């Protein structure tokens, strides 16, 4: 009797386990795998392979694939409208995402903030540095990098390379981030030769291939022989400049494959550092930092490897400046300095390191930059 009872019990147990496996485990297999992993969503405003802003983020996202227990969902070409709100909701509802990176600047207000309120259990981190403890929810946050220092290094190499002493900058919009880059590029070149000037052309849009090409042609026609840019996808600028025989400095991501001979160096985002940091916190169950910023010394920004056209003196000054920047506290904007309308920006002895809050509302172009913000 006892034997029978035991064997019956074990039989029941085994079959129950088998049934449970069959019922729960097997048919639900795909969902369970999905739920077991921590899902992180990335949203891009343009194509992932734009050789620019979005590619830089997509490369950073790709670094997460190396981590165990992370599942990646990505969506490209999402406009800064209800579309992005619905993409976030869809990633949360249908993919089970617990951390979202809406990477475009315009996703923040009102779109990401609306979703933060709607999904208080989901974490949102936005690229651009807009998060403010006093105003914004705690499941939101910002990260950003000081990339103007990279444009300064671009300028150093450009300053050694230019023969005409004229360099050119194709810019999207006269907003603080862009103006800081233009100023840094020229000041880097002027650290080599103070007679160098930089012509800037604003296209007015983040992505407008025809105008970007026209701008490059106009710059080269005016004698500029090293060109850089701040637009979403530098592909057109780099290719057009190289076709016209000018040298180029890259931005956002590496454009070296587009013009291997003419590409000098480039200021690149290194988002892998940031995304890996967030993912590791998430996997460890630790709270995510709300506000993160860093520069070259923090691994947020990196420089493209120097191209074949970079001269030896250029390489030396580039490396020396890079080493100085790595020490921290390096200031590009320092007195005595005037803007290009003759107004004083910094008196002798006054310096604004990259972390200076004033640089977040820059509205001037420094002396030596030819162009106007309005």
Partner 1 sequence: MADMTASDVPAPLAPPRLSGALAFAARRAEGIVIPLAALIAGMAVFSLFLLALGKSPAQFFELMWRGGFGSWFSVQNALLRATPLLFAALCVALPARLGLTVIGGEGAIVLGGVAAAAFGHWLSGLPSPIVIFAMGLAAMIAGGIWIGAVGALRHYRAVNETISSLLMAYIAIALMNQLVEGPLRDPASLNKPSTHPLDAAYRIGPIPGMDVHWGLAVGVIACVACWVLIDKTRWGFAARVAGGNVRAAQIQGLAVGPLIVGFCALAGALAGLAGMFEVASVQGTANASLAIGYGYAGILVAFLARQNPLGCIPVAFLLGGIAAAGGLIQRRMGLPDATILVLQGMLFIVVLMSDTLYGRFKVFNPDRWKRAG
Binding site for partner 1 (CB under 8 A): 47, 73-83, 86-87, 89-91, 93-95, 105-106, 109-110, 128, 173-177, 204-205, 360-361, 374
User: Shortest approach of partner 1 to residue 173 CB, angstroms?
Assistant: 7
CB of 78 to partner 1, least distance (A): 7
Closer by beta carbon to partner 1, 161 or else 207: 207
* Residue number with CB closer to partner 1 (193 or 358): 358
Nearer to partner 1, 74 or 214 (CB): 74
Residue with structure tokens 């988002």?
A: 271
Closest CB 282 distance from partner 1, rounded Å: 19
Using the minimum distance from each CB to partner 1, give the nearer residue, 79 or 336: 79
Q: Of the two residues 105 and 275, which places its CB atom closer to partner 1 in the complex? A: 105
Q: Residue 105, CB half-sphere, CA atoms under 13 Å: how many?
A: 8
Q: To the nearest whole angstrom, how small is the minimum distance from the Cβ of residue 211 to partner 1?
A: 11
CB of 206 to partner 1, least distance (A): 8
Instruction: Report, in Å, the least distance between residue 61 CB and partner 1.
Output: 13
Cβ proximity to partner 1, 175 vs 218, nearer residue: 175
Burial state string for 201-214 with b = 16 or more CB within 10 A and e = fewer than 16: bbbeebbbeebbbe
| Closer Cβ to partner 1, 90 or 276, answer by number | 90
What is the smallest separation between the CB atom of 366 and partner 1, expressed in angstroms?
Answer: 19
């Amino acid at each position: 009797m006892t034997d029978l009872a035991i064997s019956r019990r074990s039989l029941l147990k085994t079959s129950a386990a088998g049934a449970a496996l069959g019922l729960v485990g097997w048919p639900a297999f795909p969902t369970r795998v999905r739920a077991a992993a921590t899902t992180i969503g990335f949203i891009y405003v343009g194509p992932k392979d734009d050789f620019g802003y979005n590619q830089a983020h997509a490369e950073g996202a790709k670094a997460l694939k190396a981590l165990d227990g992370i599942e990646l969902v990505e969506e490209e070409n999402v406009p800064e409208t209800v579309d992005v709100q619905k993409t976030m909701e869809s990633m949360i509802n249908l993919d089970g995402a617990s951390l979202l990176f809406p990477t475009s600047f315009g996703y923040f207000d009102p779109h990401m903030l609306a979703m933060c309120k709607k999904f208080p259990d989901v974490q949102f981190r936005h690229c651009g540095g807009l998060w403010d403890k006093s105003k914004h929810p705690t499941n939101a946050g910002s990260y950003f990098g000081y990339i103007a220092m990279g444009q300064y290094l671009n300028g150093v190499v450009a300053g050694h390379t230019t023969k005409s002493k004229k360099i050119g900058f194709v810019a999207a919009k006269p907003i603080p981030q862009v103006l800081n880059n233009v100023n840094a590029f020229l000041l880097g070149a002027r650290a080599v030769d103070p007679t160098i000037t930089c012509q800037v052309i604003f296209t007015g849009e983040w992505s407008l291939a025809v105008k970007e090409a026209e701008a490059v042609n106009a710059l080269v026609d005016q004698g500029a022989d090293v060109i850089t840019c701040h637009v979403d996808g530098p592909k057109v600028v780099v290719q057009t400049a190289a076709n016209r025989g000018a040298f180029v400095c890259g931005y956002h991501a590496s454009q070296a494959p587009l013009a291997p001979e003419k590409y000098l160096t480039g200021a690149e985002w290194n988002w892998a550092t940031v995304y890996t940091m967030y993912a590791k916190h998430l996997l460890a169950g630790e709270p995510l930092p709300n506000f993160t910023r860093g520069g070259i010394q923090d691994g947020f920004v990196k420089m493209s490897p120097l191209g074949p056209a970079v001269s030896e003196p250029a390489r030396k000054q580039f490396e020396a400046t890079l080493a100085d920047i790595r020490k921290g506290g390096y200031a590009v904007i320092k007195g005595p300095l005037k803007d290009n309308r003759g107004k004083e920006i910094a008196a002798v002895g006054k310096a604004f390191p990259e972390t200076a809050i004033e640089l977040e509302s820059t509205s001037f172009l420094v002396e030596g930059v030819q162009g106007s913000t309005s």
